[in-house]
Structure 1
Amino acid sequence: MRKKVTIVGAGNVGATAAHWIAAKELADVVLLDVAEGTPQGKGLDLLEAMPIEKRDCNIIGTNDYADTANSDIVVITAGIPRKPGMSRDDLLNTNYKIMSDVVTKVTANSPNCIIIVVSNPLDAMAQAAFHQAKFPRERVIGMAGVLDSARFRTFIAQELNVSVENVTAFVLGGHGDTMVPLPRYSTVAGIPITELIAPERLAELVQRTRDGGAEIVKYLKTGSAFYAPSAAATEMVEAILKDKKKILPCAAYLQGEYGISGLFVGVPCKLGAKGLEQIIEIKLSAEEQAALQRSADSVKELCTVIGVV
């Protein structure tokens, strides 16, 4: 019996995640959206690509949560982008209402699922989903660090003209301006990048990583990144479905780790069949710890606005 993954939100991120998951033959996919016709059309189009790709995955598009019943994993990409004249709090409150509604319906139909949150503002939305689902923390995880680390790895590989396969990178903290890329723990074939890239240039790559989403929005003008975010969510889905015990930077609910409690913050996580199976605590310098705490404080600020702290 094949595994079942539901993706809530059939926009660019959701539909592309469905594409990656089906292309890797990881699971049957249910693509759900409130817009009538959109998930059905995209789902059918993707299903019709399966004979060409030689992949036995069933993909359906729907507006009905009943079709999502007994999902193993639910990836939530639903939410609205920030519009001109809208404050951050407006966006936060609107997406909080959407997240609460989605999680209520998802958990009613799939009480044993693992939830991966992709919606923004990421850390606060993961906190909202956790608050609403009342699941153990192992079963609600936020996708942020995988994407941010992939961006950092891309820039390091380009800078050094090496294979991306040789590059490992860690980015901790909240998904946004306060994220904490860790050059000390980032390597090329095991060699710390601090040995290979001059400090001033490294600082520029770190800043470009922080601005990674904004750089793409600037180019697209009317949209935001979706290939890399959906690939990042798919890597998390694969690690869980295949019980890979893969260590990935994800937003997890901390209970004293790194000196932080009661908040979703990006940290190294071991993902396997149970979802979040372990939080890896690495030693941080005083400066790195302070940066992580600042990141946690900004997450707390958002969570306070929507009352989920």
Structure 2
Amino acid sequence: MANKKISIIGAGAVGASVAQVLAIKDVADIYIFDIVDGLAAGKALDIQEGAPHWGFDYKLRGFCTADEKEYENLKGSDVIVVTAGLARKPGMSRDDLLLKNIGIMKDVGEKIKKYSPESIIVAVTNPADIMAYALQKASGIEPSRILGLGGSLDSARFRTFLAEALDVSVEDVNAFVIGGHGDDMVPFIRYSSVSGIPIEHLLPKEKIDEIIKRTRFGGGEILNLYKTGTAFYAPSISIAVMVESIIKNKKRVIPCAAYLTGNHAKHYGIENMFIGVPIKIGASGVEEIYDLQFNEEDKAAWEKSVESVKKNSKLADDYFSGKIKS
């Protein structure tokens, strides 16, 4: 039986780190694609040469998409991770990247449609919820087989900061973030705990508010420290656990950008768009969406995030309709 296959489009810091983490997890063959000549092939070989120490037997290969024919190597991918796009620079919000990266997603989505329309897609490029939307429009792939990074990474940051404040193991912190993957994300306090003990019983409101703010701007904090690049270590493992849950059908429950329709759309107040909510991730992609109950404070924060996603989704619609250009 043929090995499972993961393709990663974009061999920058995030894409290469995802490839490394997935290689170490030893779950599938990994194909890396990038428009820069030699970059994907070089990183694939570099990771492969560490296999004797990391202990994996799957193969890595790299391809230069300056030659469009190389996209043929997407065929047969079980999962395609899309990290291609422009990176944020200091002073730039996730939303500043929007139109440029929508244009890139249009091109990538069309290639996926042509060469591997049966794949499950994980959108990583910022802002990931809008990029998932753009990839769906360009590829025509069933929305339940497309999910976006967001809550997986944001929740990891939230858990890290809570564990730090409480001086406890991060393994015992259960917390998550929903909403758009941007500055209006919603760290969900009422559902956050340490071994079942509510966070609100352990930290004063002022400290919780401080942690929420740090979580919302966690990517920007790292960007300002790096000066010339954006985060990639935490994003890579956050992406890898999503992909692993698909490949191994682990059915992990992780907040990610998912497409809302029907009763879920009515519940969350956003329809036919992608936004971060708790989902079950399995072999078929988004296998279940969970509806959360909001109090007044939660609902106000959620609705603010929804409006931001709706605004950016409208820009994507205008781009695809030809009303605006990147």
Q: CA deviation at 1:85?
A: 9.9
RMSD in angstroms over aligned alpha carbons? 1.7
Contact 2:173 2:195 in 1 (8 A): yes
Instruction: Give the letter aligned to residue 29 of structure 1.
Output: I
* Paired residue secondary structure (2:272): strand
Q: How does 1:1-309 map to 2 (within 5 A)?
A: 1-63=2-64, 64-82=70-88, 91-255=97-261, 256=265, 257-307=267-317
C-alpha separation in 2, matches of 1:148 and 1:170? 8
- In 1, the alpha carbon distance for the partners of 2:292 and 2:41 equals 45
Moved more, 203-212 or 254-263: 254-263
Conserved? CA contact 2:10–2:84, under 8 Å: yes
Q: Describe the superposition over 1:65-99 as per-residue Cα deviations: whole angstroms up to 9, x where unpaired.
A: 11221100000000012458989877322211111
Unaligned runs of 5+ in 1: none
Indicate the SS of the match to 1:281.
coil
Unaligned runs of 5+ in 2: 65-69, 321-326
Equivalent-residue separation in structure 2 for 1:185 and 1:198 (angstroms)? 16
Whichever residue aligns with residue 275 of structure 1, its letter is G
Are the aligned partners of 2:90 and 2:223 in contact in 1 as well (CA < 8 Å)? Answer: no
> C-alpha separation between the residues in 2 aligned to 1:83 and 1:190?
39
Q: Secondary structure at the match of 2:256?
A: strand
Q: Is the contact made by 2:94 and 2:182 (CA closer than 8 Å) also made in structure 1? A: no
Give the C-alpha shift of residue 2 in structure 1.
1.8
User: Contact 1:70–1:111 (CA<8 Å) still a contact in 2?
Assistant: no
Equivalent-residue separation in structure 2 for 1:170 and 1:119 (angstroms) = 21
Conservation of the 8 A alpha-carbon contact between 2:89 and 2:228 = no
Q: For 1:274 and 1:116, how far apart are their aligned partners in 2?
A: 12
TM-score normalised by L of structure 2: 0.91
TM-score, length of structure 1 as denominator length: 0.96
**1:216-235 C-alpha deviation (Å, 9 max, x unpaired):** 00100011100011111101
The 4+ residue runs of structure 1 with deviation greater than 6 A are: 84-90
Q: Which amino acid aligns with 1:20?
A: V
Q: How far apart, in 2, do the equivalents of 1:229 and 1:97 lie?
A: 22
- The question of whether the paired residues in 2 share the 8 Å contact of 1:6 and 1:71 is answered with yes
Q: 8 Å contact 2:51–2:57 — kept in the other structure?
A: yes
SS at match of 2:62: strand
- How far, CA to CA, are the matches of 1:305 and 1:85 in structure 2? 21
Number of aligned positions between the proteins = 309
Q: Aligned pair in 2 of structure 1 residues 223, 89: CA closer, same or farther (>3 Å)?
A: closer
**Distance in 2 between residues matched to 1:250 and 1:273, nearest whole Å:** 15
Q: Distance in 2 between matches of 1:208 and 1:157?
A: 14
Distance in 2 between residues matched to 1:152 and 1:199, nearest whole Å: 15
Residue 52 (structure 1) shift: 2.0
Task: Find the aligned partners of 2:203 and 2:35 in 1 and give their Cα distance.
Answer: 47
CA 1:27–1:128 in 2, change beyond 3 Å: closer, same or farther?
same
Distance 1:186 1:9 in 2: 34
Cα distance per residue 1:124-167 (max 9 Å; x no partner): 11110111121222101001100000000001111111111101
Matches of 2:286 and 2:93, distance apart in 1: 33
Aligned residues of 1:263 and 1:296 also touching (Cα < 8 A): no
